[in-house]
């Protein structure tokens, strides 16, 4: 089948990832033959002035900064239907997030962070504050000839110090676990020391495996941040040079003026303490047989985690109840028997063939992989398809094994059952339901890191179907906050009639 062409020249080969703003594809420039990553902003997002501003910043910042440690933007344009398109270099490699989660030593992690400081220093010198420095936005790129380079991703929420535009008051911009105290208070006037603070958080995490202010909830994290409450680095781990410990503590200073003034200062002070190259990472960051990927905050649509065979219940980490898997596994098996070609390995097939004990717990990563597979390859991959998946799941489970959560004729009471229903399927995060009127509720899911877009849509669909099963009708609804848009929580507002 011929590849879809956009902008008259760019071929969309296959989807790499999807986020709250849009979809990213591996592609090819038909004129030059060059491989590229193509980000297509969703039509509804394109209508937002904030989305347009983010798009323009992401398109212009790398060119204005002019450093090879930023993702190169080849082209940016709007389609006739208003959708915005960004064409960038296609990267191979690993994010710092993956390095931190691997068995790489501290020297390797330190080398990656040191490598990020030169492009960040260039950004600061050019008048930009990134405002979202986190492990997902630091990428070790494998270049031709075996060379490596650390690149900084996603300048979509960067602050241009030369611009008069200001962020809306009261809006937290950036990842809660990595932002500075002043950015948590207001992102309107943050300066380069805010990015230095974020680097300090990552240095602390690289050394200890823990976040200095991170807690079981975003609110508690912000409370710790506001109080400057963290365990000193040298009380968490021993054997680090005193100069490095002191430098990390300076980066984490509550007062911005007490930190290194910008990334260039931090780079120069860290240089004697960090490995000079990325050799500490060992072999190439990506497998030779891996497909090229585009690294950002969006998650791959289908990402296969390690496969336990035979299937074993999870004893730690984020977990999902076996009840959540059964119907989706059946659906995938029916599709395979019908001859549908799905991107799964023999190990995946072996996993699908294992017996699922509905009362047991399994790795949540497996649940995410399964819903992404169904969404992308069986349901069409659209937002509407994700909502429909949630409706179907609720219809199946709330008319069967968990029918007790539906209170016929009483929508409000049925919606109040959502916190208890959540605990039947997942053993992390917290759900609260607040009545905002006789026929209105706000549903909030807190402390849910790395929420996939598909799961967000399914949770919305679940709530919508629950109203229907209780005999009501949703008259309005709005996703007020969304992790895939950069918020800490998922917040959905519903208005209904009975």
Residue 464 near residue 391, CB atoms below 8 Å: yes
Residue 342 near residue 336, CB atoms below 8 Å: yes
- Which residue has tokens 């609260």? 432
Residues 50, 81, 107, 132: which is the catalytic one? 132
Which residues are CB-neighbours of 101 under 8 A, at least 6 positions away?
none
Name which of 124, 153, 190 is nearest 58 in CA terms.
153
CA distance 46 to 52: 6
Residue 274 near residue 111, CB atoms below 8 Å: yes
The 8-class DSSP code of residue 485 comes to: G
Name which of 213, 214, 216 is nearest 228 in CA terms.
213
Residue 421's DSSP bridge partners are none
Which residues are CB-neighbours of 154 under 8 A, at least 6 positions away?
58, 132, 137, 296, 297
Which residues are CB-neighbours of 3 under 8 A, at least 6 positions away?
11, 12, 13, 28
The 8-class DSSP code of residue 426 comes to: B
Residue 94's DSSP bridge partners are 140
Residue 462 near residue 395, CB atoms below 8 Å: no
What's the burial of 262, exposed, middle or buried (CB within 10 Å: 0-12/13-18/19+)? buried
Residue 132 is among the residues annotated as catalytic for this protein = yes
Residue 116 near residue 94, CB atoms below 8 Å: no
CA distance 482 to 386: 15
The 8-class DSSP code of residue 116 comes to: H
DSSP alpha helix (H) spans, 309-429? 323-337, 346-352, 364-377, 383-397, 411-415, 418-425
CA distance 182 to 256: 8
- Which residue has tokens 């080969």? 13
- Which residue has tokens 């110090």? 161
Three-class DSSP category at 32: coil
- Which residue has tokens 């336990």? 308
From the CB of residue 234, how many other CB atoms can be counted at a distance below 10 Å? 16
From the CB of residue 296, how many other CB atoms can be counted at a distance below 10 Å? 24
CA distance 138 to 22: 20
Indicate which residues carry an active-site annotation: 132
């Amino acid at each position: 089948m011929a590849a879809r062409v956009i902008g008259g020249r760019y071929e969309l080969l296959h989807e790499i990832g999807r986020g709250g703003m849009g979809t990213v594809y591996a592609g090819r420039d038909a004129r030059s033959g060059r491989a590229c990553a193509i980000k297509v902003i969703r039509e509804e997002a394109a209508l937002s002035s904030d989305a347009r501003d983010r798009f323009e910043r992401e398109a212009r910042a790398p060119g204005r900064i002019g450093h090879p440690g930023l993702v190169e933007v080849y082209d940016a344009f709007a389609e006739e239907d208003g959708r915005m398109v960004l064409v960038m270099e296609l990267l191979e490699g690993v994010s710092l997030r993956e390095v931190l989660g691997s068995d790489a030593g501290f020297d390797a992690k330190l080398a990656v962070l040191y490598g990020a400081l030169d492009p960040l220093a260039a950004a600061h010198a050019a008048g930009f504050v990134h405002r979202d420095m986190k492990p997902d936005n630091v990428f070790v790129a494998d270049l031709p000839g075996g060379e490596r380079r650390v690149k900084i991703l996603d300048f979509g929420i960067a602050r241009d110090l030369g611009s008069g535009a200001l962020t809306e008051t009261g809006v937290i911009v950036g990842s809660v676990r990595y932002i500075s105290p002043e950015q948590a208070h207001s992102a309107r006037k943050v300066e380069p020391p805010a990015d230095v603070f974020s680097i300090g958080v990552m240095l602390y995490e690289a050394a200890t495996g823990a976040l200095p202010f991170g807690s079981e909830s975003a609110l508690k994290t912000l409370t710790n941040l506001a109080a400057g409450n963290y365990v000193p680095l040298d009380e968490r781990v021993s054997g680090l040079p005193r100069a490095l410990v002191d430098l990390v503590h300076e980066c984490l200073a509550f007062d911005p003026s007490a930190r290194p003034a910008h990334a260039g200062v931090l780079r120069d002070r860290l240089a004697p303490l960090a490995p000079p190259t990325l050799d500490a990472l060992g072999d190439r960051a990506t497998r030779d047989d891996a497909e090229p990927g585009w690294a950002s905050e969006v998650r791959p649509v289908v990402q296969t985690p390690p496969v336990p065979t035979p299937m074993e219940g999870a004893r730690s980490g984020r977990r999902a109840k076996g009840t959540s898997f059964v119907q989706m596994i059946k659906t995938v098996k029916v599709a395979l028997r019908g001859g549908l070609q799905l991107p799964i390995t023999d190990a995946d097939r072996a996993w699908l063939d294992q017996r699922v004990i509905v009362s047991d717990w399994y790795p949540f990563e497996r649940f995410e992989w399964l819903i992404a597979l169904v969404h992308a390859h069986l349901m069409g991959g659209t937002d509407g398809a994700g909502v429909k998946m949630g409706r179907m799941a609720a219809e199946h489970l709330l008319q069967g094994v968990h029918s007790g959560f539906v209170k016929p004729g009483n929508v409000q009471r049925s919606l109040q059952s959502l916190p208890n229903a959540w605990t039947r399927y997942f053993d992390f995060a917290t759900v609260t339901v607040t009545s905002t009127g006789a026929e209105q509720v706000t549903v909030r899911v807190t402390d849910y890191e790395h929420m996939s877009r598909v799961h967000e849509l399914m949770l919305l669909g679940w709530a919508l179907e629950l109203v229907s099963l209780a005999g009501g009708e949703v008259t309005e609804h709005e996703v007020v906050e969304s992790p895939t848009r950069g918020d800490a929580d998922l917040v959905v507002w519903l208005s209904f009639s009975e």
